[in-house]
Chain A
Amino acid sequence: MPESVAHEAGSGVYRARGITKNYGPVAVLRGIDVTLEPGCVHTMMGENGAGKSTLFKVMAGLVRPNGGTLAIDGDAVSFAAPHEAHARGIYLVPQEPALMPELTVAETMFVGQLPTTTGLVKRIDWRAMRSRARAALDTLSLDIDVGALSRSLSIAQQQQIECAKALLRGCRVILFDEPTSPLTTHEVEHLFATMRHLRDEGYTLAFISHRMDEVLEISDHVSVLRDGMLVDSVARPQFDRTRLLSRMVGREMRTIPRRSWSCATDQPALVVKGLAHGSRFADVGFTLHRGEILGLAGLVGAGRTEIAETIFGLRARDSGSVTLAGEDISTLQTHAIIERGLVYAPEDRARHGAVLPMTIAQNVTSGLISRVRSRLGLMDHADEDRIGAETVRRYRVRCAGTDQTLRELSGGNQQKVVFGKWMGLSPSVAILDEPTRGVDVGAKDEIYALIEELAREGMAILVISSEMEELVRLCDRILSVYEGRIVAELSGEAITPERVGRSYLGHAEAQDGVEVAA
């Protein structure tokens, strides 16, 4: 080990006993006992709102618990701030690290503890800083330039930098708050390699994830949280996918196979031809039929969102046409496209999909404000509430009333509101970009069921997703997008996770092996 990585005296057994946390009358954690062992990856699973993140924040000193004790190597500890946790060797890697975009990698790693030269005038010791940063990155076998600006890093690299920061601060316990959800499959493998490396060095690691495959792959120990309680805790030999899933949702759940029925027709609802824009995407053409669920598969950044936004009139295009029910809509503005029955639910809810400080009812009607009954130009708020309440009921939004702001809802419930906002317009074509991002397992199934129901009613649905299981489960047909081009089309029996993955990943590696199935 390089000298830059300091060692705590202890081995790094981190024990939490009877942790409770309330926000007002709501109990988020109700007496959690958990022990993190060195040389072990301990995974917390659970639906959104189960309390996983809160538990990590308590353990990392970001949130003060209402009750319970924390002990590292048998010493009772309590933290008023994250830096106190760092001092005791505990580090939390946030899901989307907040590095300083204009600083170099080395600077960002040493923020708050810049090394200085000795002497009369203390200057920053750039040389030492760079070499220590390099050493920490080398420990993790990370090929990242310490002189690069932080903003040039991918989220995966930023997370790895956070790991290196933990090492520099001599931390032995590293907690990862849902690190994989913004990452591509490829990046997840890199992160896991880093985690395995740390585990083999005897670090104590804990990890939050929704994704069963990842959990089974990386974990040595899995704890399942539900409603703020620890409902299961198993070591590697006893892993069982079905059992973990059923513990998470609190009811029996099987891994769902591909649905057997299809209600895809041969009536075209949306025809896209030769759509192109600069270097983003080119020659994009496909036909979406009534009742069909068509998937766009691909790596994050392949241009799928840009294609959807262009169809929805939010981006300029260089060429190509978009025809909705026989009418060319490629020159129309977004509001006119919505009125003609094409809607787009964007992937980034907080930025694009919803207005978080506004109420549920106001968000539901925001897609087409004129759907609220008006008299003499004045909106009928009672009618708006009715529409809101109907949506809340139909899409099972958990809330106290339609006058709650969206900010107060969980991710899954926000997504249901956004879903209801667009589906309430009964569009003929819906483009759903990452429809279950940040949504818990139970709500995911509800959303899948809704999408299938809408297809059955004859809606044409385009699903953009980075979750293989989701695409395989939902889609009648899948188009693979690689660097802005459609490189493969799969349908029927050809749709398996392996073949879908291979259809674009294979392209990414070999530029051949394009698989086109009937």
Chain B
Amino acid sequence: MNDVAPALRNEVTARRGRTRRLPLGNWERALLALLLLLTAGLIAGVPGFYPGFAGFLALTENFLPFGFVALGLTTVILTGGIDLSVGAIAGLAAIVMASLWSGLHVSIWLSALIGLLAGGLLGLVNGLIITRLRTEPLIATLATSFIYGSVGVAIAGDNPPSGFPDAFNRVGTGAIGWLPVQIVLFAILAVLFSLLIGRSTFGRRVVMIGYNTDAARYSGVRVRQVLTLSYVISGTMAALAGIVLAAYYSAVRPDMGDLLLLSTITTVVLGGVSIFGGEGSIVGVVIAVLLLGMLRQGMLIAGFSDMVTTMLTGAILLGAIAVKNLFAGRGTGLSTLLGRFRRSGTAPAE
């Protein structure tokens, strides 16, 4: 696509267009290959990583909550924004649910639903602060993350509720046959988000805003409405992650979401979503969720400390982004680099 500049040709062409319908771009393909290699390597090299198919699938329960957050956060990052309050929202939503259940004896399922709605509401607050008070998303959600987190601590008290009903805990640890419930939930949501971003008019508007907010406004896109909705989605997904985590541990803690934030941003960026907005796909993010999760689990099972694993995650992120920028030719790309070599050489290689 980039090797021609047909605009420079003089004949008038109106060839029947076709949009690339391949679900995987180059980045996603590379990630997928990496994921398969890594998984194969871990299965072959780490004893205990593959304890049978069902056990292998159950490994995902450790990291899929990150995936839920990543799906919602992707929507926000595609608009060119950021939501730093996802961890706090996850914690607060789980605590709201647990408190309703233990304090007011509301049914756990109804409590979970209210927890989800609370997440959406907190996201709405983020969105309104950003769009109505014209605050930078970074600052606005940093501030609300402190507020939401503190509220969570206050509600939870010294002795947060635990020991939820088994039926509820199955959301976090149960399986349908050999298929963990979390995987089913994640698969459904991944497909929904993929359609939302790739095929719905909302997703199109999200991407337009991410690439060029002004042009979106001049095209009649209700920018504030779309932005607000994207933060609502992000908040709801964070709440879902908090609730699933609560079911997984059968307990809640106000700081349970703290780990989510940075890992999830890492995942989204590794998945190929541009932090400046516009560019990226849900498929890439889904693969990145699995890639980072598998890597982490593999390392832990192999006996590396959490510290080493985290360090490696950082290195992978840096490496991946460096490679991506080199190949994407964002001005400081590979072509520039090669050009530099050529320039210093004797003969122009072009």
Q: Which one, A338, A357, A361, contacts B19 given CB within 8 A?
A: A361
Q: Is the CB of A385 within 8 A of B19?
A: yes
Closest B residue to A392 by beta carbon equals B14
Q: Which residue of A lies closest to B11 (CB)?
A: A398
Q: Does A514 contact B (CB under 8 A)?
A: no
A residues within 8 A CB of B255? none
Q: When the two chains form their complex, are residues B199 and A400 in contact, meaning their CB atoms are under 8 A apart?
A: no
Is B132 located at the chain interface by the 8 A CB criterion?
no
| Residues 391-426 of chain A, each 1 if its beta carbon lies under 8 Å from chain B, else 0 | 011001111111110001110010000000100000
Q: Interface code B52-74, partner A: CB below 8 Å = 1, 0 otherwise?
A: 00000000000000000000000
B346 / chain A contacts, CB cutoff of 8 Å: none
Which of B103-111, B151-159, B218-226 lies at the interface? Answer: B218-226
A136-B242 Cα distance, complex, nearest whole Å: 67
Q: Closest CB of chain B to A79's CB: distance in Å?
A: 11
A355, B12: Cβ atoms under 8 Å? no
Q: Could you tell me if B208 and A358 are in contact, using CB atoms closer than 8 angstroms?
A: yes
Q: B214 touching A352 by the CB < 8 A rule?
A: yes
Interface membership of A35, Cβ < 8 A: no
Contact B13 A400 (CB under 8 A): yes
Q: A353-B218, A377-B200 are in contact. Are A401 and B8 (CB under 8 A)?
A: no
A357 to B276, CA, bound (A): 13
Q: Which residue of B lies closest to A404 (CB)?
A: B1
Contact status B220-A398, CB under 8 Å:
no
Establish whether residues A28 and B8, one from each chain, have CB atoms under 8 Å apart when the complex forms.
yes
Complex-state Cα separation, A379 to B205, whole angstroms: 12
In the complex, the chain A residue whose C-beta lies closest to that of B3 is A24
**Alpha-carbon separation in the docked complex, A372 to B19 (Å):** 14
CA distance A404 to B8 in the complex (A): 14
Whether the Cβ atoms of B199 and A408 lie closer than 8 Å is no
Total A-B contacts with CB atoms under 8 angstroms apart: 149
Collect the chain A residues with CB atoms within 8 Å of residue B350's CB.
22, 64, 66
> Which of A106-114, A291-299, A363-371, A502-510 has 4 or more CB atoms under 8 Å from chain B?
A363-371
B6-27 contacts to A, CB under 8 A, are 6-21
**Would you give the shortest CB distance from A333 to chain B, in whole angstroms?**
7
B343 interface residue per 8 A CB criterion: yes
Is A389 in the interface zone, CB < 8 Å from B? Answer: yes
> From A360, which residue of chain B is reached at the shortest CB distance?
B17
Could you tell me the distance between the alpha carbons of A312 and B219 in the complex, rounded to whole angstroms? 10
What's the minimum C-beta distance from A261 to chain B, rounded to whole angstroms? 27
Interface residues of B in 172-192 (CB under 8 A from A): none
Residue B211 lies at the interface, judged by CB distance under 8 Å to chain A: yes
Measured CA separation A380–B350 after assembly (Å) = 42
- Report which of B15, B19, B214 forms a contact with A359, defined as CB distance below 8 A: B19
Contact yes or no, B221 A335, CB < 8 A: yes
For chain B residues 189-228, which have a beta carbon within 8 Å of chain A? 195, 199-201, 204-205, 207-208, 211-212, 214-222
Bound-complex Cα distance A377 to B201 (A): 8
Contacting residues, chain B, for A170 (C-beta < 8 A)? none
Q: Is the CB of B215 within 8 A of A24?
A: no
- Asked if A381 and B215 make an inter-chain contact with CB atoms under 8 angstroms apart, the answer reads no
- Asked if B258 is an interface residue, CB under 8 A from chain A, the answer is no
Contact call A26/B278, Cβ cutoff below 8 A: no
For A413, what are the chain B residues with a Cβ–Cβ distance below 8 Å?
Answer: 7
Nearest A-chain residue to B215, judged by Cβ: A355
Q: A28-B8, A352-B218, A409-B7 are in contact. Are A381 and B15 (CB under 8 A)?
A: no
Complex CA–CA separation, A66 to B19 (angstroms): 34
B222 engages A385 (CB within 8 Å):
no
The listed residue with most B CB atoms (<10 A of its CB), out of A358, A359, A366, A409, is: A366
Q: With a CB–CB cut-off of 8 A, which chain B residues contact A338?
A: 220
Q: Answer whether A344 and B218 are a contact pair too, CB < 8 Å, given A392-B17, A400-B13.
A: yes
Q: Which range holds the interface residue count of chain B?
A: 35 or more
A2 on the interface (CB 8 Å rule)? no
Chain B: which residue is nearest A395 at the CB level?
B14
In the assembled complex, A388 has its CB within 8 A of some CB on chain B: yes
B49 CB to closest chain A CB (Å) equals: 39
Interface string of B138-175 (1 = CB under 8 A from A): 00000000000000000000000000000000000000
Which residue of chain B has the shortest Cβ distance to A399 in the bound complex?
B6
Question: A26–B211 contact, CB under 8 A?
Answer: no
CB contact under 8 A between A369 and B7, given known A352-B218, A381-B19, A396-B12: no
Tell me how far the C-beta of B64 lies from the nearest C-beta in chain A, rounded to whole angstroms.
26
A389–B16 touching, CB < 8 Å: yes
Residues in A with CB closer than 8 Å to B16 are 385, 389, 401
Residue numbers in A under 8 Å from B211 (CB-CB): 355-358
From known contacts A366-B208, A410-B7, infer whether A314 and B218 are also in contact, taking CB-CB under 8 Å: yes
In the complex formed, the residue of A with least CB distance to B278 is A357
Q: Judge whether B7 and A358 touch: CB under 8 Å.
A: no
Report if B5 contacts A (CB, 8 A). yes
Evaluate contact between A408 and B5: CB separation under 8 angstroms: yes
Task: Decide yes or no whether B331 CB sits under 8 A from chain A.
Answer: no
- Tell whether A141 is near chain B: CB-to-CB under 8 Å: no
Q: How far is the CA of A314 from the CA of B212 in the complex (A)?
A: 16
The residue that A23 contacts in the complex, of B5, B17, B217, B218, with Cβ under 8 A, is: B5
- Chain A residue numbers with a CB within 8 Å of B214 are 351-352
| Given A351-B214, A353-B215, A379-B200, A398-B195 contact (CB < 8 Å) | no
Q: Given the complex, which residues of A lie within 8 Å of B348, measured CB to CB?
A: 64, 66
Q: Which residues of B contact A357 (CB under 8 A)?
A: 211-212, 278-279
Among candidates B10, B13, B221, residue contacting A227 with C-beta atoms closer than 8 Å? B10
CB under 8 Å from chain A, chain B span 238-296: 278-279
Is the CB–CB distance between B20 and A337 below 8 Å? no
Please give me the residue from chain B that is nearest to A66 by CB atom: B350
Which residues in A have their C-beta under 8 angstroms from that of B307?
A: none
Residues in A neighbouring B133, C-beta threshold 8 A: none
Q: In the bound complex, do residue A356 and residue B212 qualify as a contact, i.e. CB atoms below 8 Å apart?
A: yes
Q: Does B4 contact A (CB under 8 A)?
A: yes
Task: Give the nearest-CB partner of A359 in chain B.
Answer: B19
The answer to whether B201 touches A379, judged by C-beta atoms less than 8 angstroms apart, is yes
List of A residues within 8 angstroms of B21 by Cβ: 381
Cβ of B14 and Cβ of A396 under 8 Å apart? yes
Residue A378 is within 8 A (CB to CB) of chain B in the complex: yes
Which single member of B12, B19, B217 contacts A402 (CB below 8 Å)? B19
Given A80-B343, A314-B218, A401:B18 Cβ within 8 A: yes
- CB-contact partner of B14 in A26, A354, A362, A397, under 8 A: A397
Asked whether, in the complex, the Cβ of B5 is within 8 Å of the Cβ of A385, the reply is no
By a CB distance below 8 angstroms, the chain A residues around B218 are 312, 314, 334, 344, 346, 352-353
CA separation between A334 and B222, bound complex, in Å?
8
A374 part of interface (Cβ distance < 8 Å): yes
CB atoms of A402 and B18 under 8 A apart: yes
Contact A366 B219 (CB under 8 A): yes
Query: Considering the chains assembled together, what is the distance between the CA atoms of A381 and B7 in angstroms?
Result: 24
Q: Shortest 8 CB-CB distances between A and B: which pairs?
A: A402-B17, A393-B14, A335-B220, A410-B7, A378-B199, A401-B17, A338-B220, A400-B6
User: 20 interchain pairs (CB within 8 A)?
Assistant: A24-B4, A26-B4, A26-B6, A314-B217, A333-B220, A335-B220, A335-B221, A353-B215, A357-B211, A357-B278, A366-B221, A374-B201, A378-B199, A379-B201, A385-B19, A389-B14, A400-B4, A400-B6, A403-B17, A421-B219
Inter-chain pairs besides A64-B350, A333-B220, 20 sampled, C-beta below 8 Å: A49-B8, A333-B222, A334-B218, A335-B220, A344-B218, A351-B214, A353-B218, A358-B207, A358-B211, A369-B205, A370-B201, A385-B19, A392-B15, A393-B14, A401-B15, A403-B18, A404-B1, A408-B6, A409-B7, A410-B8
